[in-house]
Amino acid sequence: FPEMLSNPKLVLVQGNLNVVMKQNVTLSCLSEPGSPPVRYTLFKHNQQVSALNRSDLTPALFTLTISSASDVGEYKCKAEYNNSSGGKYSNSLQLTLIEPISKPVLSSPTSQAKKGQNVTLSCLSENGSLPITYLFFKGTQNISPQKTMQKREAAVIFLFINSLSDFGTYKCKANNSFPNNTKYSNAFNFTLAEERSHSQPLIISLGLILLLLIIGFTLAIPFFVIPLYKASK
């Protein structure tokens, strides 16, 4: 009599559970103990992917090529004897597709600042698998701890403009689990905002008053100056 099958074990023997496009992944399925021959079937989300018969105690090896997003998800395998109903199911393995990030964009609500002002910088990569880790730089110097974002939202840092040296060039970089895929942002510079002196509003007011007097005098010429000039003759 054939030995009763145990629940098979599904293990990854080649590749990674975090996969990229065109990557090959090999899964191994084996029921121990069990008496061959045994039929092994691989499922993804309860849909059959492939089936193999084993006449000895070697595992069934399933090689997958990740060619689209539909190739990732939860996989299980089933072990059964050919002439029996039922069968035993394995543990599940989750394949997750990772995508490269796009070039991050560094921005701020304001491009002008003055000494003594607080400002913010935001860094966001619109595309790529989460989580994404961001790092901010001024020149080549790191100015913040790494910020790992689990959601599609910008990493933000707060800066205090203390001196003219704080008006340098800022950048950020982003990376995720996709191999060799670090991207740097555009450069961003704060410019020094011109500070108006307290005398400027007074000068502007005096200029407006003078302009109104000139306009008034010009309008008065036809009505007062010319008649008076004619009357004097």
Instruction: Give residue-wise pLDDT tens across range 123-164.
Output: 999 999 999 999 999 999 999 999 999 999 999 999 999 888
Q: Does the residue 114 lie in any domain?
A: yes
The per-residue pLDDT for 42 is: 98
3 pLDDT tier (thresholds 50, 70, 90): low
Whole-angstrom distance between the N-terminal and C-terminal Cα of the chain? 143
The sign one gets for the Cα dihedral 28, 32, 37, 43 is negative
Q: Do 91 and 155 sit in the same domain of this protein?
A: no
Q: Do 152 and 128 sit in the same domain of this protein?
A: yes
117 pLDDT tier (thresholds 50, 70, 90): very high
Mean pLDDT of all residues belonging to the chain? 88
Beta-sheet pairing, 112-113 with 191-192: parallel
Q: Do 20 and 63 sit in the same domain of this protein?
A: yes
Q: Does the residue 205 lie in any domain?
A: no
**What's the rounded Cα separation, in Å, for the pair 94 and 98?**
13
3-state helix, strand, coil in the chain (%, to 5): 20, 40, 40
Q: Do 109 and 37 sit in the same domain of this protein?
A: no
Q: Does the residue 214 lie in any domain?
A: no
Q: Do 17 and 92 sit in the same domain of this protein?
A: yes
**What's the rounded Cα separation, in Å, for the pair 119 and 139?**
17
Residue 197 has pLDDT above 70, yes or no: no
Q: Do 92 and 114 sit in the same domain of this protein?
A: no
The per-residue pLDDT for 82 is: 76
Residue 61's SS3 state is strand
* Ramachandran angles phi, psi of 65, nearest 5°: -110, 120
Which residue segment(s) compose the domain that 150 sits in? 105-192
30-34, 97-101, 135-139, 150-154: segment of lowest average pLDDT:
30-34
Domain boundary pick from 63, 97, 131 = 97
Q: Do 84 and 15 sit in the same domain of this protein?
A: yes
**What's the rounded Cα separation, in Å, for the pair 16 and 128?**
18
30 pLDDT tier (thresholds 50, 70, 90): very high
User: Exposure string (b/e) for 198-212, b if CB count within 10 Å is 16 or more?
Assistant: eeeeeeeeeeeeeee
Residue pLDDT, tens place only, 164-178: 888 889 999 999 999
Residue 46 has pLDDT above 60, yes or no: yes
Q: Which residue has the tokens 């450069």?
A: 187
Residue 199 has pLDDT above 60, yes or no: no
Residue pLDDT, tens place only, 49-61: 999 999 988 999 9
By residue count, the chain amounts to 233
Q: Does the residue 188 lie in any domain?
A: yes
Q: Do 91 and 37 sit in the same domain of this protein?
A: yes
Integer-rounded Cα Rg, in Å, for the chain is: 37
Q: Does the residue 45 lie in any domain?
A: yes
Domain boundary pick from 97, 119, 141 = 97
Q: Do 135 and 77 sit in the same domain of this protein?
A: no
The percent of residues in the chain predicted with pLDDT above 70, rounded, is: 88
Q: Do 24 and 77 sit in the same domain of this protein?
A: yes
Q: Do 91 and 28 sit in the same domain of this protein?
A: yes
Q: Does the residue 93 lie in any domain?
A: yes
Domain boundary pick from 97, 122, 145 = 97
The per-residue pLDDT for 168 is: 86
Work out how many domains the chain is built from and give that number. Answer: 2
Any idea of the CA torsion for 32, 33, 35, 40, to the nearest 10 degrees?
-30
39-48, 95-104, 177-186, 199-208: segment of lowest average pLDDT:
199-208
Q: Do 37 and 93 sit in the same domain of this protein?
A: yes
What is the domain-level CATH number for residue 172? Answer: 2.60.40.10
The per-residue pLDDT for 86 is: 77
**What's the rounded Cα separation, in Å, for the pair 52 and 41?**
6
* Per-residue CA distances from 219 to 208, 213, 223 (Å): 16, 10, 8
Q: Which residue has the tokens 């970089």?
A: 173
Q: Does the residue 199 lie in any domain?
A: no
Q: Does the residue 42 lie in any domain?
A: yes
